Amino acid sequence: MPGRALLDMKSRLDGLLKEAVVCVEGAAVDKDALLDIKVRYLGRKGGVSSFLKELASLSAEERKAAGEAINQVKDSLEGLIEGRLAALEERARTLALEKERLDVTLPGRRFPLGRRHPVMQVMAEIEAIFRGLGFDVAEGPEIEHDYYNFEALNIPKDHPARDMQDTFYVTEDVLLRTHTSPVQIREMKRVKPPVRIIAPGTVYRKDSDVTHTPMFHQVEVFMVDEGVTFAHLKGVLTQFLQGLFGTDTPLRFRPSFFPFTEPSAEVDIRCVICKGAGCRVCKASGWLEILGAGMIHPEVFKSVGYDYERWSGFAFGLGVERIAMLKYGIDDLRLLFENDLRFLRQF
Ligand code: FA5
């Protein structure tokens, strides 16, 4: 027969368990309250532990039964609270996942892709053609000395040819280069012949209408060797222009004048906008001038220290925007510089 003390303890344990269960039910979704309840009933100084002190006053046999009863209450309370806490955690996790849910079936966002400006595309194409013909690429400064831009190219200070190109001056002797021809001088002073060089770059002139802008691009091409003739110039030019525009595009050479070449020519291509019928781009002539060319003048060879008795060479400078206009059928040069994305995206 169990003693009174044991029976009494069991009934109090039972009461404690019932009370704790009511508390746990009441705190169903409150994690902090559950943790408080856990401390209150299961902590070292908590309700269940206080029963352990009473064990000393029981007989050995009763002590065992009482210990079991205490452990049972402890286990079931622990199980209940831990179960609730786990359920709460699970719920919080589900809610978070629900909130952060990604719809992997949505189409991705496209990154806006830039592309090369049509002028740069044409420049790269020109470069590739000449690299294929064995030319090296060189560059020079855009802010240039009068000497390289004019003097050394046989255009002295009082020469009327200076009026051919309206110049932006920085100081009396420093200017924004008006053409890429100064790179001829810089390169020929740097290396001995034979040379084959192309020099793409930006140039500046006080100029503005449908076929002229104050900033534009040129590519200078020149070759110096023994026995270079006008026939080589014509051959290289024909091959280049037909490579760029297709073999059926007519070209024409017109006699012209540049102080740094003799003889000199201007090369026109049949206007691809109007196919020769006449339009505002070709000023109703059916032809569009795209480059100036000629055999390098002995005075230029003198200023770079080349023996003009031994070496000869040709040079030409072409307008990249003009070529871009012709290649893409653009009828106003200024469109290329307005940076309207609707226009630029077409290329
Ligand atoms: C020259 O600039 C010479 N340096 C070219 C040259 C080089 C001749 C080597 C002989 C030997 P010109 O001023 O004609 O030449 O210009 C050459 C090309 O640049 C023109 O055919 C044209 O296509 C282009 N161009 C000239 N001015 C403008 C401008 N304001 N806007 C856009 N393109 C231009």
Q: Give per-residue pLDDT as tens, 305-345.
A: 999 999 999 999 999 998 888 888 887 888 888 888 888 88
Report the pLDDT value the prediction gives residue 165, as an integer from 0 to 100.
66
Report the pLDDT value the prediction gives residue 270, as an integer from 0 to 100.
85
Burial of residue 68 (CB within 10 Å: 0-12, 13-18, 19+) is exposed
Query: Does 291 contact ligand 1 (Cβ within 6 A)?
Result: yes
> What angle separates helix 118-132 from helix 230-245, to the nearest 10 degrees?
130
Compute the distance from residue 308 Cα to the ligand 1 centre, in Å: 25
Report the pLDDT value the prediction gives residue 238, as an integer from 0 to 100.
86
Report the pLDDT value the prediction gives residue 58, as an integer from 0 to 100.
77
- CA 52 from centre of chain: 75
Please identify, by atom number, the ligand 1 atom nearest to the C-alpha of residue 178: 2
pLDDT, tens digit, for every residue of 261-286? 999 999 998 887 788 898 887 889 99
Task: Give residue for tokens 């609707």.
Answer: 342
Query: Strand 312-319 to strand 287-296: parallel, antiparallel, or no bridges (unpaired)?
Result: antiparallel
Compute the distance from residue 38 Cα to the ligand 1 centre, in Å: 91
Residue 208 contacts residue 214 (beta carbons within 8 Å): yes
For 109-123, give one letter per residue: b (16+ CB within 10 A) or e: eeeeeeeeebbebbb
Burial of residue 54 (CB within 10 Å: 0-12, 13-18, 19+) is middle
- Which protein residue has the closest C-alpha to ligand 1 atom 12? 292
- Mutate which of 218, 244, 269 to test ligand 1's pocket (most atoms within 8 Å of Cβ)? 218
Report the pLDDT value the prediction gives residue 121, as an integer from 0 to 100.
92
Residue 334 contacts residue 325 (beta carbons within 8 Å): no
Compute the distance from residue 346 Cα to the ligand 1 centre, in Å: 27
Report the pLDDT value the prediction gives residue 217, as an integer from 0 to 100.
95
- Which protein residue has the closest C-alpha to ligand 1 atom 2? 179
Compute the distance from residue 319 Cα to the ligand 1 centre, in Å: 6
Sign of CA dihedral 49, 51, 54, 58: negative
Query: Does 135 contact ligand 1 (Cβ within 6 A)?
Result: no
- Contacting residues for 335 by C-beta, under 8 A, at least 6 apart: 343
- Measured CA to CA, the distance from residue 86 to residue 69 in angstroms comes to 26
Query: Does 177 contact ligand 1 (Cβ within 6 A)?
Result: no
Report the pLDDT value the prediction gives residue 60, as an integer from 0 to 100.
79
CA-based nearest residue to 140, from 194, 180, 197, 188 = 180
296: enclosing H helix or E strand: strand 287-296
Report the pLDDT value the prediction gives residue 65, as an integer from 0 to 100.
81
Query: Does 150 contact ligand 1 (Cβ within 6 A)?
Result: no
Please identify, by atom number, the ligand 1 atom nearest to the C-alpha of residue 314: 11
- Measured CA to CA, the distance from residue 77 to residue 151 in angstroms comes to 102
- Measured CA to CA, the distance from residue 268 to residue 28 in angstroms comes to 90
- Measured CA to CA, the distance from residue 129 to residue 120 in angstroms comes to 14
Q: How many CB atoms lie within 10 A of CB 278?
A: 15
Residue 250 contacts residue 275 (beta carbons within 8 Å): no
Query: Does 51 contact ligand 1 (Cβ within 6 A)?
Result: no
Report the pLDDT value the prediction gives residue 131, as an integer from 0 to 100.
94
Listed as ranges, residues in the chain with pLDDT below 70 are 1-2, 28, 161, 164-165
CA distances for 54 relative to 6, 67, 168, 326, angstroms:
10, 10, 106, 106
- Which protein residue has the closest C-alpha to ligand 1 atom 19? 319
Tokens of 347: 């290329």
